[in-house]
Amino acid sequence: MFPQGAITKTKELINISDYNFFSGTSTILGVHNQQSGSQSNTLLLCGIYNNETSSQIIAKTYDKDYSLDLINYVCAGDVWAKKTGQGDSAFMTLTYLPYDYNNSTSTMGYYYNGFSFGDIIISFFLLLGITLMFYKFFFKLLFKKND
């Protein structure tokens, strides 16, 4: 589902707390958050760690569960999480690439359910060849000339 080289990190935040996932330019691919209660908000931010005014909110959980979001967000700074209230806990899962995927000159192939596009094309032509051989064999068998 994600490109090769994707990194997934998790962190549990208890009471009022924050956590810096990583620093540097990255492409955030997926965010998921679960909270045990609704006493607080949990935010995923991009910018300067521990400086909410100069950071941009990427994801925010107001209530108990935040489903998996598949995003393609490029962040050039700290990616960090902040939990605002006490009395509940939050568990955040973050999947990212440690570079800007949109401007990358990487030659890594795209994958679809574990297959690269090259694998799919080779499999198609191989299946086509085997199918033609199969029909040719049965065509000769059915329409054999009796000399």
Per-residue pLDDT at 54 exceeds 90: no
For residue 47, the one-letter residue type is: G
Residue-level pLDDT at 107: 53
Tens digit of each residue's pLDDT (9 = 90 or more) over 56-112? 988 888 777 767 778 888 999 999 999 988 888 989 999 999 888 777 665 555 555
The answer, as to whether pTM is greater than 0.85, is no
The whole-number average pLDDT for the span 12-37 is 90
For residue 71, the one-letter residue type is: I
- The confidence band for 116, taking pLDDT boundaries of 50, 70 and 90, is low
Is the CB of residue 72 less than 8 Å from the CB of residue 26? no
Q: How far is CA 101 from CA 43, 97, 118, 145, in A?
A: 23, 7, 20, 62
CA dihedral of residues 122, 123, 127, 130 (deg, nearest 10): 60
